[in-house]
Amino acid sequence: GSPVPPEERRLRDKKHLDDVTAARLPPLHHSPAKLLSIEESIAIQIQQKEAYEEMQAKLAAQKLAERLNIKMLRFEPEGEASMQYREVRDED
């Protein structure tokens, strides 16, 4: 047969691959991977660990409150209502 141009051969091979497999690469939603220094990597890991632990603590507190049927009310120690009974008078 006649030689097939490389562009046409590539398109034919790609179509064949599409027919053979359903495996596809997911679309790239984020920027490609970057190289980080060890210091940057450690700083990011520490930050993520702290955020994770904080989220776990909040979730644990929420579950405990639900289990004990505790209603969390807003506490404002500097609020006006809490200061009404603390009116200080100068006795002199």
Q: What's the confidence (pLDDT) of residue 89?
A: 64
Which tokens hold the place of 36?
A: 């980080």
| Residue 49: predicted pLDDT | 97
Quick one: pLDDT at residue 20? 66
| pLDDT for residue 56 | 97
Tens of each residue's pLDDT in the chain, 92 residues:
567 788 888 888 777 776 666 677 777 777 778 899 999 999 999 999 999 999 999 999 989 888 887 666 777 767 665 556 666 666 65
Amino acid code (one letter) for 28: L
What residue spans define the domains of the chain? Answer: 37-66
What is the C-alpha separation between 92 and 90, in angstroms, rounded? 6
